């Protein structure tokens, strides 16, 4: 095997091959100053020496040696936490909906009260309006009519 043998791969492929995060893969590439090129698809390709790629992908094992058991336990725990968050969010949403309904009822009650008040006010002011409208027999003449005299009317 020669020192110049490399394999071109993306950061995600390199991270999966090494069993690390993409951020860790980026740091490794920076540390060793491996060549990087940008592909037409927008993904960065790195030239990784064959010696830096493990022959077998890493396997996650717990204390008893079962592959993936730690990952499965983590996924189950994450699922339980997500379910709890969903339940809390649904409870908050229900409380918010109840609060909105209560505020809407208050608004409608105040709106009805305001309309009743407006009607009472209008009925009290009705005689006054009739007297104002009764005094005004003729609409005001337009300003041009006043300037040119009565011939335009």
Answer yes or no: is 107 within a domain. Answer: no
Strand order in the sheet with 36-38: 6-10, 44-49, 36-38
Q: Give the total number of structural domains in the chain.
A: 1
Answer yes or no: is 142 within a domain. Answer: no
Mean pLDDT over all residues of the chain? Answer: 81
Q: Which domain does 46 fall in, by range?
A: 6-52
Phi, psi of 4 (to 5 degrees): -90, 5
Answer yes or no: is 23 within a domain. Answer: yes
pLDDT digits (tens, 9 = 90+) for 84-134: 989 999 999 999 999 999 999 999 999 999 999 988 887 777 776 667 666
Answer yes or no: is 62 within a domain. Answer: no
pTM metric for this prediction: 0.39
Q: Which two tokens stand for residue 23?
A: 């951020």
Mean pLDDT in residue range 30-51:
93
Helix axes 11-18, 22-32, angle to 10 degrees: 100
Question: Among 19-23, 45-49, 98-102, where is mean pLDDT lowest?
Answer: 19-23
């Amino acid at each position: 095997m020669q020192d110049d043998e490399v394999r071109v791969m993306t950061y995600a492929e390199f991270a999966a091959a090494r069993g690390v995060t993409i951020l860790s893969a980026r740091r490794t590439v920076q540390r060793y100053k491996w060549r990087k090129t940008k592909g037409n698809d927008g993904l960065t390709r790195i030239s990784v020496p064959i010696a830096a790629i493990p022959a077998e992908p890493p396997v996650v094992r717990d204390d008893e040696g079962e592959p993936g058991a730690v990952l499965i336990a983590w996924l189950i725990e994450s699922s339980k936490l997500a379910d709890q968050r969903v339940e809390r969010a649904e409870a908050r949403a229900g409380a918010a909906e109840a609060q909105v309904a209560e505020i809407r009822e208050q608004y409608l009650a105040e709106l009805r009260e305001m309309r009743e008040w407006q009607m009472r006010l209008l009925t009290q002011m009705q005689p006054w309006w009739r007297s104002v409208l009764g005094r005004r027999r003729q609409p005001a003449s337009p300003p041009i009519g006043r300037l040119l005299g009565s011939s335009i009317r």
